Amino acid sequence: MNALDTEVVLDVEQESLTTTPVNNIVSVQTSEIESDQAMMPISPLDLPTEVFQQALDRRRENRAILIKWIRQSLVENQDFGSIPTKRGPSKPSLWKSGAEKIIGLLNITAHFPSLADIEQSVLNGNVPEYIVVRCELHNSQGIVLAEGSGARKLSQDYGDLNKALKMAEKSALINCVLKVGGLSDVFTQDLEDLAEVPPAPKPVRTQPQSQPQAEVCSDDQIAILNRRIQQLKLDRQRVESWIQRAWDTTLDHLPANRFPTLYKQLDKWATQTQNAA
């Protein structure tokens, strides 16, 4: 069973959303189809022509409804986003919150069967260099609709196992969602791999201060900065020291309005370092 075999009914005016299994709506009545159930075809192309045509039509219509809902319900710079490149805006990248909204719509759940093995390995004192997480999307009957994986090198997060694990889980989840909905023509997966210049600030966290509470960079923006520091081979401690002196804060709690400034400053430091060498 595929997630698009579920008929999605969207009431735009009342903003209500329900999912109804197609199997409860469509009743198979012909004796030809009943006899075929006893001998499952090896390939979908071996199905009776009428049945195959109905299945294709149903999936095309359901996917159109899904795409319409995505365009109406997902919020740019919150559930997905693009970044400016030399060729113009990049292809939109699906973010975790958007992926979670989509699987909620389809009434399917995410499972990570490989987490137990990773946990046991760490408990045994074997901290892996790479974190590889497998994700499965299940329907309400427990049937696996899609599988995906995500990987993260521990050094990308400076040895922070929790963060590396979280990033690998996110990557695996998004990979699954793109597969189950056939959304690769709508979204790409990893915004960080596309980063050439900073995206528009997307503040979603608040800096732990009393008065006032300043908006700080999102996890995606912090990851972009970390990646850029690695690409330019800059000394992270020197970057942290400069941030502390300039803005009295840390990279992980960098104010959102400082993100473009710091991103440009990284390139300047890299140029200065190369010229000095």
For residue 79, tell me if it sits in a domain.
no
For 135, other C-beta atoms within 10 Å of its C-beta total: 27
**Residue ending a domain, choose from 45, 73, 101:** 73
Residues facing residue 188 across a β-bridge = 93
Task: Say what the pLDDT of residue 141 is.
Answer: 93
Task: Say what the pLDDT of residue 208 is.
Answer: 52
Selected residue with higher pLDDT from 259 and 90: 259
Task: Say what the pLDDT of residue 84 is.
Answer: 67
| Same domain assignment for residues 169 and 211 | no
The answer to whether the Cα torsion of 221, 150, 160, 129 is positive or negative is negative
For residue 149, tell me if it sits in a domain.
yes
| Same domain assignment for residues 170 and 213 | no
| Same domain assignment for residues 60 and 116 | no
**Residue ending a domain, choose from 123, 155, 189:** 189
Q: Among all chains, which residue has been given the structure tokens 């899609």?
A: 146
For 232, other C-beta atoms within 10 Å of its C-beta total: 15
**Residue ending a domain, choose from 19, 40, 73:** 73
| Same domain assignment for residues 132 and 212 | no
Length of the chain: 277
| Same domain assignment for residues 57 and 122 | no
For residue 198, tell me if it sits in a domain.
no
Task: Say what the pLDDT of residue 29 is.
Answer: 43
Q: Name the domain count of the chain.
A: 3
Domain region containing 37:
3-73
Q: Read off the pLDDT of each residue in 51-68 and give the average, rounded to a whole number.
A: 89
Q: Read off the pLDDT of each residue in 151-168 and give the average, rounded to a whole number.
A: 89
Q: Read off the pLDDT of each residue in 47-53 and give the average, rounded to a whole number.
A: 88
Q: How confident is the model at residue 213 (pLDDT cuts 50, 70, 90)?
A: low
**pLDDT tops 60 at residue 233:** yes
For residue 81, tell me if it sits in a domain.
no
pLDDT digits (tens, 9 = 90+) for 141-151: 999 999 999 99
Q: Read off the pLDDT of each residue in 183-194 and give the average, rounded to a whole number.
A: 64
**pLDDT tops 90 at residue 244:** no
| Same domain assignment for residues 151 and 235 | no
Q: How confident is the model at residue 203 (pLDDT cuts 50, 70, 90)?
A: low
**pLDDT tops 70 at residue 43:** yes
CATH code for the domain of 135: 3.30.160
Contact residues for 154 (Cβ-Cβ < 8 A; gap 6+): 127, 128, 129, 130, 131, 160, 161, 164
Q: How far apart are CA 83 and CA 198, in angstroms?
A: 7
Task: Say what the pLDDT of residue 127 is.
Answer: 86
Q: How confident is the model at residue 11 (pLDDT cuts 50, 70, 90)?
A: very low
For residue 227, tell me if it sits in a domain.
yes
**pLDDT tops 90 at residue 135:** yes
For residue 28, tell me if it sits in a domain.
yes
Q: Lowest-pLDDT range, 85-99, 116-130, 174-188?
A: 85-99
Q: What is the pTM of this model?
A: 0.55
| Same domain assignment for residues 168 and 103 | yes
For residue 80, tell me if it sits in a domain.
no
Nearest alpha-carbon partner for 100 in 170, 166, 188? 170
Mean pLDDT of the chain: 77
Q: Lowest-pLDDT range, 85-89, 147-151, 193-197?
A: 193-197
For residue 132, tell me if it sits in a domain.
yes
